[in-house]
Amino acid sequence: MPLDAALNSLGIAKAPADTRVVVAMSGGVDSSVVAAQLAEEGYDVVGVTLQLYDHGAALAKQGACCAGRDIHDARRVAETMGFPHYVLDYENTFREAVIDEFADAYLGGATPVPCIRCNERVKFRDLLETAKDLDADCMATGHYIQRHAGPNGAELHRAADPVRDQSYFLFSTTQEQLDYLRFPLGHLPDKAATRALAQRYGLSVADKPDSQDICFVPDGDYAAVIEKLRPGSAEPGAIVDMAGSELGRHDGVIRYTIGQRKGLGLGGLAEPLYVVRLDPETRQVVVGPKSALATRLVPLREINWLGDASFESRAEWHVGVKVRSTKPPVEAILRPLGPDRAEVELFSPEQGVSPGQACVFYDLDGPRIFGGGWIWRGY
């Protein structure tokens, strides 16, 4: 008999009926399908939805998760499939762990990725501990990523569908968290397959649109949110070239990101100019030619390493890296500078590398993810 003959579909040596699974339900089609599928397979499913911010203010806004409509949708799915569903008030936790840092990062001239922090500090930390308090054997989510049992423990792999792959947003998942988490959608070929399953289960969210914006910025106006959180943060200043000559004025550094070309309000130029640096202390937006955006050396901190050998066991690691979520991995050398700091040297320069973004490490020869770190102004 194979060694894994007694394992259920979640890799746990119990019958499904004896396996409790907490499913993190956002109210969208992905997590709803996960919950419905596991319930149909006979697992002891408990659905949990987090109220992350004042959903009353967002009831009428589309494209945001965890608002009032989404809580209602998650509850309906639970009623349809016959498993318990709970809503937990995480507003204070979310504000302290995610929203405050988001605002402060922009004020510091960085471009943050709050969805990564939410996974790291709220869903995969606090909610995961709640799942353990509920005596769950594991926690499942609707993320498009794969977890495989490897010779040295659970491994994180890219989703089968490269369009839906969410590995960039999950690089900070620790080994301990990965041992407990499950991602039942990671093997699906595309989003159409997920919606087909939702139709099969008779879920009301089968045709619900995907979330497009950060949940607490449902209209995409980051600057307005930051001004509300940090009054007086949008102070005017100068737009200067790389030599320091003033070319124009702006109404707040928080309205700009590195690599931005449009919306600078600079006319009559011989060549297009891009934001190459933000200086919050002097309130300057520094612009230059596209070539000035090219970067080969990327300093990182808060490294999360998911490789089999220890991070500092080598002077260099030959890996693929992503410095933004929308691009495929590129070849690079990763040099540890301590247990949680590193330098990445890109084989080919990348443009618009920004502090506050993530740099994620990949196996050059396969789908495995080796973790990642946060880009910062290390030099």
Q: In what order do the strands lie in the sheet with 20-24?
A: 85-89, 44-51, 20-24, 138-140, 181-182
Q: Do 64 and 26 contact (CB within 8 A), yes or no?
A: no
Active site residue 66: no
pLDDT of residue 55: 44
What is the rounded distance in angstroms from the CA atom of residue 129 to the CA atom of residue 320? Answer: 32
Q: What pLDDT digit, counting tens, does each position of 11-25 carry? A: 999 999 999 999 999
Which among 65, 66, 115, 215 is annotated as catalytic?
Answer: 215
Q: What pLDDT digit, counting tens, does each position of 180-231 carry? A: 999 999 999 999 999 999 999 999 999 999 987 788 887 888 999 999 999 9
What is the rounded distance in angstroms from the CA atom of residue 145 to the CA atom of residue 157? Answer: 6
- Answer yes or no: is pLDDT of 27 > 50: yes
The token pair that represents 114 in the structure block: 């709050």
pLDDT of residue 269: 80
What is the rounded distance in angstroms from the CA atom of residue 176 to the CA atom of residue 56? Answer: 35
Which among 65, 66, 118, 359 is annotated as catalytic?
Answer: 118
Q: Do 291 and 346 contact (CB within 8 A), yes or no?
A: no
pLDDT band at 58 (very low <50, low <70, confident <90, very high): very low
Domains of the chain by start residue, with CATH: 16-200 (3.40.50.620), 234-288 (2.30.30.280), 295-375 (2.40.30.10)
- Answer yes or no: is pLDDT of 64 > 80: no
The full DSSP string for 195-208 is: HHHHHHTT-TTTTP
Averaged pLDDT, 319-343: 96
| 303 phi-psi bin (left φ>0, alpha ψ -120 to 50, beta other) | beta
- Cα pseudo-dihedral 196, 146, 371, 309, rounded to 10: -170
Instruction: Encode burial over 73-89: b for 16+ CB neighbours within 10 A, e otherwise.
Output: bbbbbbebbebebbbee
The token pair that represents 343 in the structure block: 């330098």
**Cross-strand partners of 282:** none
Q: Do 54 and 92 contact (CB within 8 A), yes or no?
A: no
pLDDT of residue 1: 36
What is the rounded distance in angstroms from the CA atom of residue 156 to the CA atom of residue 304? Answer: 12
Q: Do 49 and 74 contact (CB within 8 A), yes or no?
A: yes
**Statement: the pTM of the whole predicted model exceeds 0.85:** yes
- Answer yes or no: is pLDDT of 59 > 80: no
- Answer yes or no: is pLDDT of 4 > 70: no
Q: Which long-range contacts (CB under 8 A, 24 or more apart) does 289-294 make?
A: 290/351, 292/242, 293/258, 293/259, 293/351, 293/352, 293/353, 294/349, 294/350, 294/351
Active site residue 215: yes
Q: What pLDDT digit, counting tens, does each position of 33-48 carry? A: 999 999 999 999 999 9
pLDDT of residue 54: 65
Q: Is 64 exposed, middle or buried (0-12, 13-18, 19+ CB in 10 A)?
A: buried
